[in-house]
Structure 1
């Protein structure tokens, strides 16, 4: 595969991963100026459509079904549908918590079966020793739990929605729904920074093609 095609493929993959989040943020912020508090429902509907489009693009154009995108799509459509149907934003507030916990526990549960789901997902991209795959899987599992905790901290202290006082963890904390919605950009930045922080271990332990070939039986 040429470098140009590879770069284009990576760009398309990035678009399917972050595109729906950008759509949500845009619809939410623009919608606040026109429909006020109902913006969360318009943004949720747009997010559902964008996620469905991203999954369709991955399946039809890229000929792949990214497991993380599939799981995300199922949760987004389920909780988004409940949000719009019941006119209750709590469902969309807790959606990131559910998604991140599913990712985290999928990794941890796979360990119980002697299987590394993180390697299964990314093994075609990186070639690493088993020990490094386990380290990366544990790191990402803990990171997903951190994101789940962060989302809980954010939505539980929204002060201009229907979040009950009983849901609050800290009485001194209070912010509006816009912070929670726009923090999705912050979460993307945090995730990118965490991924970059793991680059050194990937580069240091990457197994080159020549080394893999030399390990094969019958190799000269």
Structure 2
């Protein structure tokens, strides 16, 4: 369930882009009417309309996540606040400057912020957030928890680099597809690999 919640803004981005791509002229007209004031010059063209709609959908989706948790009086994780801040800043710049470069950088900034947050917490304050999230379910030696943390840091750094490589080496449509399916696929492979690796280190009774 949490995975679906986390993927909500990404799914909105993908859906909004694909829908607007079907009729760019109509999408541009609607975009200009509804949020043209957020763009320099007040007008959005057909070529840029799909990514503009996708950007607005992502900002709205992330904001809805926060509102939903607030209404349910659930704890909002720091990374969700950071994600909201990043998408508002980079998404807002995309809208204002009519430039998809900013929104392409957004996933990388979020990945690297996650890696930096994990590293600062561990090496600055001695807090292993991976252990905090999983420690109630499994028991592992300290060195294994540290290796697992380093694996997540490395994964986030690598994902940030991969995102930039796809975003700036391939057409926009390819990056949009990668953002929805490629990133999710890589995350799934990493999580499965993590589970197999952890299985070797669990006490006999927990295997």
Structure 1 runs of 4+ aligned residues shifted over 6 Å read none
Which structure is higher in RCO with an 8 Å CA cutoff and minimum separation 6?
2
Distance 2:185 2:68 in 1: 24
What is the alpha-carbon root mean square deviation over aligned residues?
Answer: 2.3
The Cα offsets for residues 119-171 of structure 1, whole Å up to 9 and x where unpaired, read as 234444544332222111100100111111111111222xxxxxxxxxxxxxx
Indicate whether 1:120 and 2:116 are aligned. no
Indicate whether 1:74 and 2:85 are aligned. yes
The Cα offsets for residues 31-71 of structure 1, whole Å up to 9 and x where unpaired, read as 11122421101000001111111222234337121233222
Distance 1:39 1:122 in 2: 39
Distance 1:207 1:72 in 2: 36
How far does residue 205 in structure 1 lie from its aligned partner after superposition? 4.2
Q: Which runs of 5+ in 1 are unaligned?
A: 1-10, 158-174, 212-220
Greater percentage in helix: 2
Closer, same or farther: CA 122–54 of 1 in aligned 2, 3 Å: farther
Closer, same or farther: CA 179–54 of 1 in aligned 2, 3 Å: same
Distance 2:69 2:203 in 1: 28
Question: Which secondary structure state, in structure 1, belongs to the residue aligned with residue 150 of structure 2?
Answer: helix
Distance 1:71 1:127 in 2: 30
User: Of 167, 171, 185, which aligns to 1:155?
Assistant: 167
Q: Following superposition of structure 1 onto structure 2, how do residues 89-108 of structure 1 map, counting pairs within 5 Å?
A: 89-108=100-119
Closer, same or farther: CA 136–15 of 1 in aligned 2, 3 Å: same
Matched residue, 1:84: 95
Matched residue, 1:193: 189
Give the length in aligned residue pairs. 182
